[in-house]
Structure 1
């Protein structure tokens, strides 16, 4: 135990959460040989095997599971200490990773995040805009934008906003087909939507809102769906904060085909007190509040 290096626990937690040396090394900004060496050193010092090495990755042993619980408590204490004693300049430096659905991340947040970096030159913002759920307990992100409020875990959540979705198509697509005056007129139309088995949140499964339709073009990416719609490939359910900024898109049956969903901002309790995290979260919330009309525009007449 005399040779035990507390810093090796950072490497241990990264591998435990990532499941592979390569992914853990990327998150730690180290090379995988260094990560492997630090894990071996920790095992030698503790005289236990912490991981089962398999071709598919690293799996915790029972001893590793027990150490992970203790290591996470130590990590929480270290983060709390950092938040308590760091001065202002240090607190607003470093990286903040934001995990967000691709529509919100790419179309709303990305064009507006630059001013945050201008205010704080030492802050590095990592925007991961992907159609997936981010695990804050595995430190896949510091801040996550979700479509629902988490029901478990040591997570702090606040509602950002409700947002409205509607059916859209291009004027050229609509002009080339019979007028759509009711839901019955949607039969025979081309639709664009999500790939059924890749829908990462139940809130995105809204085909039934339209009716008995089967999308002919499917994508896991909302941005890809948007681009296909703009190319005239069909009709698509799109958020108003995205479609409303595209002059080539026209709402279809806006009084009948409208649904409402929500965005939640989620932070792990261990990170909530860090100034760079809380400041970035407040910045995002303020952006959404000031541009509320984008998310909930007045009903189309």
Structure 2
């Protein structure tokens, strides 16, 4: 670990994703701050930031350093008051926004575990088939399927997840065998309502050239239940399959999609120790739960 002054400056830039914004907090000239970050990268022999007109986004090495430096910061703050922040239980209310697939199949387990260890904490999950607006304070933080590029937000990738085509055993037994992508045109497709897809990352069927969507919903859970009823073939999250007995993946080698969940927080809350503690627990729990559920279907 470098000296703490370097880490203090790094944390400000990493959280604000902007030299000017971090400079205001640190009372440093942005140019000076930029030189300090360049010097830090040179000393560590790694690239910590991806620089663009939109700001400073963390590289993978930067994310790793953020985690380490943040842990040191937490320990130092805790020592100053005679108790480690990480050992404190959480209380009060925290509202979390999430797409309905994550909200239905992952967050109940993750948030129940957090609640069990923090009995004074009230967790509210807002499941929406759209991007949660943190600027309007619809939630304290949000899970997204892509990293937003606008607004004063702090964004971190939590975990990747897998998706495959699937259909019910009953449907597959009654229909023509699916041997390749071309065969999908002979089958009923289940998917999103095209004009209600709120993120390009969710437009799975367009990428597959599957054509007409016979049964559609803006809800992942509804799509999964349609498939369980034998409605046709659709793209499902692997982590949802343990909750959907009777569904079987098809064309596993031809169609294997990878997406990611991102934890999105308002920049003004970046130094809120309580929210940071919850964010850490949420990220770790979400990553572990995706891995556990996906392991059940491999």
- TM-score > 0.5, shorter chain as reference: yes
Distance (whole Å) between structure 2 residues aligned to residue 296 and residue 91 of structure 1: 30
4+ runs deviating over 4 angstroms? 83-91, 294-300
1:93 equivalent in structure 2: 91
Structure 2: give runs of 5+ residues left out of the alignment.
Answer: 1-76
Match of 1:207 in 2: 205
> Match for residue 37 of structure 2?
none
| Number of the residue aligned with 1:291 | 289
| Deviation per residue, 1:174-231 (Å, 9 max, x gap) | 0001211112222220111111111111111111233242111110101110111111
**Greater alpha carbon shift after TM alignment, 278-287 vs 165-174:** 278-287
Residue 150 of structure 1: how far off its partner (Å): 1.8
Return the alpha-carbon distance in structure 1 between the equivalents of residues 108 and 164 of structure 2: 23
Question: In structure 1, what is the Cα distance between the partners aligned to 2:293 and 2:157?
Answer: 13
Aligned equivalent of 1:104:
102
Q: Report the Cα offset of residue 118 of structure 1.
A: 2.0
- CA RMSD between the two structures: 2.7
Matched, 1:143 2:135: no
For residues 242-301 of structure 1, the C-alpha deviation after alignment (integer angstroms, 9 at most, x for no partner) is 12543311011010011111110011122232233112211111113323535765996x
Q: Number of aligned pairs?
A: 218
The match for 1:129 among 124, 127, 130 is 127
CA distance in 2, matches of 1:194, 1:276: 36
SS at match of 2:286: helix
Q: For structure 1, which runs of at least 5 residues remain unmatched after alignment?
A: 1-82
> Bigger radius of gyration, 1 or 2?
1
User: Which of 100, 112, 116 matches 1:114?
Assistant: 112
When normalised by structure 2's length, the TM-score is 0.67
Q: What TM-score, normalized to structure 1?
A: 0.66
Matches within 5 A, 1:230-269: 230-269=228-267
- Which SS does the other structure have where 1:152 is aligned? coil
